[in-house]
Amino acid sequence: MTIRIGIAGIAGRMGRLLAEEVPAAGAVLAGGTLRSGAAPGGAAVLPDFGALCGVCDVVIDFTHAEAASRHAAAAAEVGTALILGSSGLSADDEAAVAAAARRIPVVYAANFAPAVNLFLAIAERMAAALPPAQYDAEIVEMHHRQKVDAPSGTAVALGRAVAAGRGTTLEEAGRESGRDGHCGSRGTGTIGFAALRGGQVVGEHTLIFAAGSEHISLTHRSFDRRVYATGAVRAALWAQGRAPGLYAMKDVLGM
């Protein structure tokens, strides 16, 4: 049976790319929601997210963190699988998504690009091998000037990967960001973040481990948002028919 995929925010920048990638993957574009404008390719427009879930097997949502908990609850109510790529979710938002995942399959990822998820896996292994007492971890990210959250969801995911490799959590390790003025020396074992905004950079992330005698860094650059769309559609195809649960892109990739 052909899978029916819906797109929240179908007239947006990511929505339009997703609308192209869904049929390219052999799936049916069942429709979308939008705040203004017209749906690309004459796709059906549904009045709200709940109505969209009612005509789809899977819905892809890259809209906004403020809508994440509401959309997750609506998908769970209907029984529609959810692919969630919104960044900047609060702890309460993530708890709501996890609650929905007890009823439906949810693939929630900070980034759907395959190479980024390999980056996260490598970051965890690097952190496990480089002791925090000797190696300071710093994460530098840059995005386009319109991005509203900082640090990016991918940067936070990198921080969590580093913390996991060190046998702790990002909250327990402590975050350092927004250094300005006389802010004191760097805390041992903390994880630093620096967010840059400018131009139309799609996404750049660099992880640095800095010791007194050596530095090592790993960088990922995205040049086209389409990589996120193709990854999300891949996740949608994978999620169809899965048991309820909260999945990550590494599950989709078999990592």
How far is CA 181 from its chain centroid?
A: 32
Same domain, 180 and 215: yes
Same domain, 168 and 241: no
Active-site residue among 143, 144, 182, 205? 143
* Residue 8, amino acid: A
Contact between 143 and 152 under an 8 Å Cβ cutoff? The reply is yes
CATH of the domain at 96: 3.40.50.720
Mean pLDDT within 67-83:
97
Number of compact structural domains in the chain = 2
pTM: 0.87
* 163 has a pLDDT exceeding 80: yes
* 50 has a pLDDT exceeding 70: yes
CA 30-32-33 angle, to 5 degrees, is 155
* Residue 49, amino acid: F
CA 202-206-211 angle, to 5 degrees, is 170
Same domain, 17 and 90: yes
**Domain ranges, residue 8:** 4-112+225-253
Same domain, 107 and 230: yes
Active-site residue among 64, 71, 144, 147? 147
Q: Rounded to a whole number, what is the distance in angstroms from the first to the last CA of the chain?
A: 27
d(CA 142, CA 145): 9
d(CA 219, CA 230): 21
Question: Would you call 250 a catalytic residue per the annotation?
Answer: no
Return the SS3 of 46. Answer: coil
Same domain, 73 and 19: yes
Mean pLDDT within 214-226:
96
Query: DSSP states of 76-104 as a string?
Result: HHHT-EEEE------HHHHHHHHHHTTTS
Question: 34-38 long-range contacts, Cβ below 8 Å, gap at least 24?
Answer: 34/9, 34/10, 35/9, 35/11, 36/11, 37/11, 38/11
Same domain, 31 and 95: yes
Question: Would you call 147 a catalytic residue per the annotation?
Answer: yes
Same domain, 105 and 121: no
Same domain, 103 and 13: yes
CATH of the domain at 200: 3.30.360.10
Same domain, 94 and 215: no
Return the SS3 of 56. Answer: coil
Q: How confident is the model at residue 199 (pLDDT cuts 50, 70, 90)?
A: very high
Same domain, 189 and 200: yes
List the beta strands (DSSP E) in 112-170: 136-143
Same domain, 80 and 167: no
- For 149-161, what is each residue's pLDDT tens digit? 899 999 999 999 9
List the beta strands (DSSP E) in the chain: 4-8, 28-32, 58-61, 81-84, 105-108, 136-143, 175-177, 191-197, 203-210, 215-222, 245-247
Mean pLDDT within 99-122:
96
Nearest CA-CA partner of 209 in 104, 133, 112: 133
Same domain, 239 and 147: no
Q: How confident is the model at residue 116 (pLDDT cuts 50, 70, 90)?
A: very high
Predicted local confidence at residue 1, as pLDDT:
63
